[in-house]
Amino acid sequence: MNKSIWQISLAIAVCFSACTSNKEEEKSEEATFTVTSPIVIDTSFTKEYVAQIQSLQNIEIRAQVQGYLESINVDEGQQVHAGQVLFNIMPKQYQAELAKAKAEAKASEIELQNVKTLNEKNIVSPSEVAMAQSKFDAAKADQAIAELHVSFTEIKAPFDGVIDRIKFKVGSLIDAGNLLTTLSNNKDVYAYFNISEVEYLNYKANNNGNVKGNATLLLANNLEHKYKGTVETIESEFNNTTGNIDFRAKFPNPDLLLKNGETGKVRLVVVLKGALVIPQKATYEIQDKDYVYVVDKNNLIKSRCITITHKLPNLYVIGSGLTVTDKILLEGIQNVKEDDKIKTKFEQPEVVLSSLQLIK
């Protein structure tokens, strides 16, 4: 009986020893942490800017004379061509004024010829010829004004474009200056957006001081406009309130998909040369500040605050807090604390980057 108890106790002791040994081995394996270093690379990323879209040409069509709206020859949303008649204002009054002006001009012309004939016969003085000439010139000017008023009764499109909402109906009494509609040329559109002073300086540096650069337009439905654009102009002054400066990009719009007044986002590719980067997973955040664990020469864990200037796919661009000689904890951040001594396994930063799913 005693022998049996002794055998059981021995078996339990052996089992306990084996279990303890296995746990120690697991703990030893868990205590080996992968570390790496920051690396300097040339890279790029895409930055989005909220943009306001405007037509290449967008004008108001207004009446220039008073009268009744006799006809509307187009419909809202219709594509029209340069020179096409859009509206007619009742022209009879202005046609009558033109007929009267023509008659007066003809009469003054006849009078001028008669005075010239008499002057040649020394019957009238040269001053009377000058007076007749002046009267004829005034009559011709009145005729030209009357002709202009008649032309204003026929309102034509100054360029190819799309008609917006029509404000009046046929028969309405129109005053000079009344807005009839607007006309937009949308074959190309402008996208206006603004960027900060730092981004402006980086943009100029990356483009060797040139203004022009490639751009992509993201529409309100989060789909890209299928035609690429070009940054054309930069305004001359920064806004003192926001510290930003306005850019203008031009996009082809042959399908007339884009309309004046739309919104979207302009995407620019920002080039970063000599950027110090680390994997995002090597960082953690406390009270809106970013940290990494740095492993010193004695394999002790030290937390360090860093600044992040740009966020790339799976990478952070570091502004301050790290150098290429630092060793940072890559994995197991949740399993360590300040001043822990750990066993490390160094992995080259090039290998770490190649294992990340980077968007190129």
Q: Using one digit for the tens of pLDDT, what is the confidence trace for 177-216?
A: 999 999 999 999 999 999 999 889 888 887 777 778 899 9
Cross-strand partners of 250: 190, 230
Does the pLDDT value for residue 276 go beyond 70?
yes
The alpha carbon dihedral of 281, 286, 290, 295 has a sign of negative
- 39-65 pLDDT, tens digit per residue, is 999 888 888 999 999 999 999 999 999
Mean predicted confidence (pLDDT) in 294-313: 92
What is the per-residue DSSP string for 162-218?
EE------TT-EE-TT-EEEEEEEEEEEEEEEEEEHHHHHHHHHHTTT-S-EEEEEE
The pair of structure tokens assigned to 222 is 């989060």
Question: Is 13 or 28 the better-scoring residue by pLDDT?
Answer: 13
Strand partners, 344: 33
Kindly state the tokens that stand for 290.
């970013």
- Overall pTM > 0.85: no
pLDDT value for 25? 46
Whether the pLDDT of residue 359 is over 50: the answer is no
At residue 357, the pLDDT reads 59
**How long is the chain?**
360
Residue 332: phi, psi to the nearest 5? 85, 25
Give the pLDDT mean for 59-82. Answer: 96
Evaluate if residue 248 carries a pLDDT over 90.
yes
Angle of CA points 105, 109, 113, to nearest 5°: 170
Q: What is the mean pLDDT of residues 316-336?
A: 93
Q: From CA 83, how far away is CA 160, in angstroms rounded?
A: 9
Return mean pLDDT, the chain: 89
Q: What pLDDT does residue 27 have?
A: 42
Q: Is the pLDDT of residue 6 over 60?
A: no
